[in-house]
């Protein structure tokens, strides 16, 4: 009993050690070059010429919305590809480099190993998305300041008083960066954490990184339309075969509803988000991550290396 309690107390240290090794492993893969390319794209957006066929009072809002859409699209694409590709490569690379045998020969439970792998991917993803988020925030600030200066000059030339300018300046500020947008990005990050755990589960069920990537991406896109697909299953009623009902039950448990985390675009458009909603999403993400890691551990323990 004392030995088991000691092992439980040492679990955070083991998981942190595996996560640190995973982070170092991913950094050596030079994945930081991807956000560097994205950063150049963000900076190039600062010099894109804009033409708006609207009244001068409303100029600039569409520019900021376009910038947010492009930046969020790049961040989403990067997060999706990085989660799937990096996670699918981890176990095959550890096996190829014989790191896996070294770790499993030590008193490291498979659950700790897999959880550390997932957290290592999530940690690097947090760092990279944090850099891209900071660049997006800087870009929105610079463009927003320039738009405000241009708007003040144009409105002053048309005889607007300072009090009359305030509503138009406020809508420019609201179209820029906001806490609501940051909550949407945090929700997306939680979704990437769920996708990391799901990909880890897939990689334990398949052989080969390419197969894992294909199935994980397929599972992600199916998960984006999960509610509609299950509604189709439900419409089958009693005519659905027992096998299909069993498959539906398994999918309901293991396949996440990724659409609930995809709220960054709606947040950028002005849909309000709350900390309570983000807390609920965080609990769902932790639950899915633990479920996937536990299931992956059960499968992983039955594989021969």
Residue 194 predicted with pLDDT over 90: yes
Q: H or E stretch including 299?
A: helix 275-300
In a domain, 4, yes or no: no
Residue 20 predicted with pLDDT over 70: yes
- φ, ψ of residue 59 to 5 degrees: the values are -70, 145
CA distance 125 to 44: 23
Would you state the pLDDT for residue 192?
93
**Domain tally for the chain?**
1
Work out the pLDDT band at 164, boundaries 50, 70, 90: confident
CA distance 63 to 247: 47
Would you state the pLDDT for residue 186?
92
In a domain, 205, yes or no: yes
> Which of 56-65, 170-179, 248-257 is least confident?
56-65
Residue 171 predicted with pLDDT over 70: yes
Work out the pLDDT band at 2, boundaries 50, 70, 90: low
**What Cα–Cα distance (Å) separates residue 162 from each residue in 56, 100, 144, 155, 175?**
16, 67, 18, 9, 20
Q: Is 125 exposed, middle or buried (0-12, 13-18, 19+ CB in 10 A)?
A: buried
Would you state the pLDDT for residue 196?
93
pTM across the whole model: 0.84
Would you state the pLDDT for residue 49?
58
What DSSP character marks residue 109? -
Residue 198 predicted with pLDDT over 90: yes
In a domain, 5, yes or no: no
Q: What is the pLDDT of residues 211-243, one digit of tens each?
A: 888 988 888 888 888 767 666 655 555 555 666
Q: What is the pLDDT of residues 241-250, one digit of tens each?
A: 666 666 666 6
Question: What is the mean predicted confidence (pLDDT) over 86-112?
Answer: 79
Sign of CA dihedral 56, 61, 66, 67: positive
CA distance 210 to 87: 11
**What Cα–Cα distance (Å) separates residue 9 from each residue in 108, 129, 232?**
13, 32, 46
Would you state the pLDDT for residue 305?
55
Q: What is the pLDDT of residues 114-147, one digit of tens each?
A: 999 999 999 989 988 888 888 888 888 888 887 8
Would you state the pLDDT for residue 147?
80
Would you state the pLDDT for residue 159?
74
In a domain, 3, yes or no: no
Q: What is the pLDDT of residues 40-52, one digit of tens each?
A: 676 666 666 555 5
Q: Which residue has the tokens 């639950």?
A: 287
In a domain, 305, yes or no: no
Contacts of 254 (CB under 8 A, 6+ apart): 198, 201, 291, 292, 295
In a domain, 67, yes or no: yes
In a domain, 80, yes or no: yes
Contacts of 68 (CB under 8 A, 6+ apart): 136, 140, 181, 268
Domain membership of residue 100 as a residue range: 10-300
In a domain, 53, yes or no: yes
Would you state the pLDDT for residue 207?
75
CA distance 229 to 242: 17
**Token pair of 242, please?**
């027992």
Q: Are 43 and 71 in contact (CB under 8 A)?
A: no
Question: What is the mean predicted confidence (pLDDT) over 256-268?
Answer: 84
């Amino acid at each position: 009993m004392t030995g088991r309690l000691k092992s439980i107390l040492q679990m955070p240290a083991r998981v942190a050690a595996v996560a640190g090794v995973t982070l170092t492993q991913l950094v050596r893969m030079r994945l930081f070059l991807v956000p560097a390319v994205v950063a150049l794209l963000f900076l190039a957006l600062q010099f894109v010429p804009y033409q708006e066929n609207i009244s001068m009072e409303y100029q600039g809002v569409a520019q900021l919305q376009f910038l947010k859409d492009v930046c969020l699209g790049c961040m989403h694409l990067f997060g999706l590809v990085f989660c799937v590709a990096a996670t699918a490569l981890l176990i095959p690379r550890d096996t190829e480099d014989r790191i896996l045998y070294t770790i499993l020969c030590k008193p490291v439970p498979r659950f700790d190993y897999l959880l550390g792998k997932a957290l290592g991917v999530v940690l690097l993803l947090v760092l990279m998305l944090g850099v891209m988020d900071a660049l997006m925030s800087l870009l929105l600030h610079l463009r927003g300041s320039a738009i405000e200066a241009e708007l003040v000059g144009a409105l002053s030339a048309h005889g607007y008083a300072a009090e009359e300018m305030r509503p138009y300046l406020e809508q420019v500020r609201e179209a820029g960066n906001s806490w609501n947008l940051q909550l949407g990005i945090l929700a997306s990050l939680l979704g990437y954490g769920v996708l990391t755990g799901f990909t880890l589960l897939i990689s334990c069920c398949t052989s080969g990184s390419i197969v894992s990537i294909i199935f994980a991406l397929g599972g992600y896109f199916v998960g984006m339309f999960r509610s509609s697909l299950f509604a189709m299953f439900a419409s089958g009623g009693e005519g659905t075969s027992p096998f299909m009902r069993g498959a539906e039950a398994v999918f309901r448990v293991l396949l996440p509803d990724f659409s609930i985390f995809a709220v960054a675009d709606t947040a950028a458009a002005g849909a309000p988000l709350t900390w309570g909603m983000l807390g609920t999403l965080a609990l769902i993400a932790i639950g899915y991550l633990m479920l996937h890691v536990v299931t992956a551990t059960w499968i992983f323990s039955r594989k021969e290396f």
